[in-house]
Amino acid sequence: MPHAIDSTCPKQPVIKALFGGTFDPIHYGHLQPVETLAYQTGLNQVILLPNHVPPHRPQPEATAQQRLEMVQLAVQDSPLFTVDKRELERTIPSYTIDTLESFRQELGNKQPLAFIIGQDALLSLHTWHRWQELLSFCHLLVCARPGYQTQFSTTEMQQWLTKHQIYDPSQLGSKPNGYIYLADTPLLSISATDIRQRHQQGLSCDDLLPLSVQKYIDSQGLYRQ
């Protein structure tokens, strides 16, 4: 006799995650750790958010449109990822906290929402605008990144991490926000800075980013000087 579907079986919670970056260009150091993280934590969707870089900061070499197109090309065949243009479409640059507020308005306050960062970003989180409020909007999922310390340099930040850190990712679906999970993701020594420099020097970047992005960079003549 075929098994009947057990209607008492608890439904897996839907967990969406946001992943912001300059993506100048997007590379495997962004994509591969996040794919592993999604598998480990049961993320259903990762929303890539190319940043609007404020005028007073060093500007990306590619335009906002080019960075967006590279992100779209990189994930066009992957159902895990979608791309959201809201930060690029704002006339004024927004902070991450503003973006989280905007997603919360859409999703409501009950659905689990996560924000993904690399270890380097975690270590400088205390410099982010209203960083203390981030966990009121989302969980933080942190991908390992080689070359960065695994501990904060201040006791205050280390205590903050200890207070919110969880070790069992299945807890992420149990509340909408407030946890920090440091994931055991592959260590990839890839940075956009290095890719831009390699292009300038005429070196191959084949193993560092998707072929579709590499072709786009070539066709647009990006990162040559």
In this complex, which beta carbon is closest to ligand ATP, that of residue 15 or of residue 48? 48
Decide: is 139 part of the binding site for ligand ATP (CB under 6 A): no
Return the residue of 97, 117, 209, 222 that touches ligand ATP, per CB under 6 A: 117
Decide: is 120 part of the binding site for ligand ATP (CB under 6 A): yes
In this complex, which beta carbon is closest to ligand ATP, that of residue 24 or of residue 84? 24
Decide: is 193 part of the binding site for ligand ATP (CB under 6 A): yes
Which of 108, 125, 106, 107 minimizes the C-alpha distance to 116? 125
CB of 147 to ligand ATP, least distance (A): 9
Residues 96, 52: Cα–Cα separation, whole Å: 11
CB of 132 to ligand ATP, least distance (A): 19
Decide: is 191 part of the binding site for ligand ATP (CB under 6 A): yes
Residues 143, 34: Cα–Cα separation, whole Å: 7
Q: How many CA atoms lie within 13 A of 168 on its CB side?
A: 4
Angle at 173 between CA 167 and CA 176, to 5 degrees: 105
Task: Write each residue from 10 to 49 as x if it is in contact with ligand ATP (CB under 6 A), else as -, in one continuous string.
Answer: -----------xxxx----xx--x----------------
Strands 180-182 and 139-143: parallel
Return the residue of 88, 121, 134, 172 that touches ligand ATP, per CB under 6 A: 121
Cβ partners under 8 Å of residue 181, min gap 6:
41, 139, 140, 141, 142, 165, 166, 167, 169, 172
CB of 175 to ligand ATP, least distance (A): 23
CB of 145 to ligand ATP, least distance (A): 4
Which of 42, 46, 80 minimizes the C-alpha distance to 170? 42
Residues 172 and 165 sit within 8 Å (Cβ to Cβ): no
In this complex, which beta carbon is closest to ligand ATP, that of residue 13 or of residue 40? 40
Identify residue 143 by its one-letter amino acid code. Answer: C
CB of 77 to ligand ATP, least distance (A): 21
- Please work out the total of residues on this chain that contact ligand ATP, with binding judged by CB under 6 A: 18
Residues 6, 22: Cα–Cα separation, whole Å: 45
